[in-house]
Amino acid sequence: MKRGALKRALGIYWWVLLFFLYLPLAVVVLFSFNSINSAAIFESFSLRWYYRLLANDQIMSALWHSIVLAMSSSVIAVLLGTLIGYGLYRHRRRGLGWLIVLIYLPIVMPDIVFGIADMTFFVRINALTGWLAPGLGPMILSHVTFEIPFVALIVYSRFVGLDPTLFDAAKDLYASPVKRAWHFIVPAIKPALISAFFLSFTLSIDDFVISFFTSGPESSTLPIYIWGAIRKGVTPEINAIATLMIAAVIVAAIISLLVTRRRPQTPPEGR
């Protein structure tokens, strides 16, 4: 096959793949603006389902829980995951490479196994101490545990890409550990921290399985609400919720991409 023909074939394959990936999402978005309650016929453009969504206290409560859960778990995961990533980098030559395997385990483990394990753990703790009853608290802890490995790997890969002599240069300039962390390490890994935060936020917003096993009756999130409502049939109101979630994920991905692609400006000559 000639190179030009191969290039055209790969281009066609690319567009076909994108079509099948995003067509279902486009249909969901389209029918969220349908003026009638129909999953087969689009009559006319309307925002009625978004107005109904905003007036639904149960949906607003689920949205609030999703935002609180995603924000709090992402912040905690970034803090703890950064420390783990830095530790893996500093001790990478001391025969601790096997720790990477422990970091990868929560990533490759099926969500249902993770969810059941979290539920069993919190039920035991609650039975012994009366703490951590199913609700927002255990959900935050559960989300932190599966977000930390992603943060640690992102931060670790950023540290590996840095010039090791920069750390020695900071020490030679008599910078204290606090000053090295604040004026060198944090700015150097800032793109990785922002990317890790938005990735954690996206993972938390989208999660259903782990949230389902650790949630309580008063801590339903949007994915849990959608799962319960969709058993009665797909309605434009559900499509509107899904559209808002899709938009939130897209915005988070765009911000993360813009931040990671931004490069520091070169200072003018003569300064």
- Plot region of 42 (φ>0 → left; ψ -120 to 50 → alpha; else → beta): beta
Tens of each residue's pLDDT in the chain, 271 residues: 577 788 888 889 999 999 998 998 898 898 888 888 876 788 888 888 898 888 889 889 998 999 999 999 999 999 999 999 988 888 777 666 667 777 888 888 888 998 999 999 999 999 999 888 889 999 999 999 999 999 999 999 999 888 877 777 777 777 777 888 887 888 889 889 988 998 899 899 889 999 999 998 888 998 998 888 887 777 788 888 888 888 887 887 787 777 766 654 444 444 4
- In this prediction, residue 242 carries a pLDDT of 86
* Residue linked to tokens 């999130």: 221
Contact residues for 236 (Cβ-Cβ < 8 A; gap 6+): 31, 32, 33, 34, 37, 49
Global confidence as pTM: 0.83
- In this prediction, residue 234 carries a pLDDT of 74
CA 159 – CA 186 distance, rounded (Å): 11
User: Are 80 and 144 contacting, i.e. CB atoms less than 8 angstroms apart?
Assistant: yes
Contact residues for 167 (Cβ-Cβ < 8 A; gap 6+): 180, 184
β-sheet bridge partners, residue 34: 45
3-state secondary structure 152-216: HHHHHHHHHCCCCHHHHHHHHCCCCHHHHHHHHHHHHCHHHHHHHHHHHHHHHHHCCHHHHHHCC
Domains delineated in the chain: 56-262 (1.10.3720.10)
- By CB atoms closer than 10 A (0-12, 13-18, 19+), residue 260 is middle
Q: What angle do CA 98, 156, 108 make, to 5 degrees?
A: 55
- Look up residue 36 and give its amino acid: I
Question: What long-range pairs does 7-15 form, CB within 8 A, spacing at least 24?
Answer: none
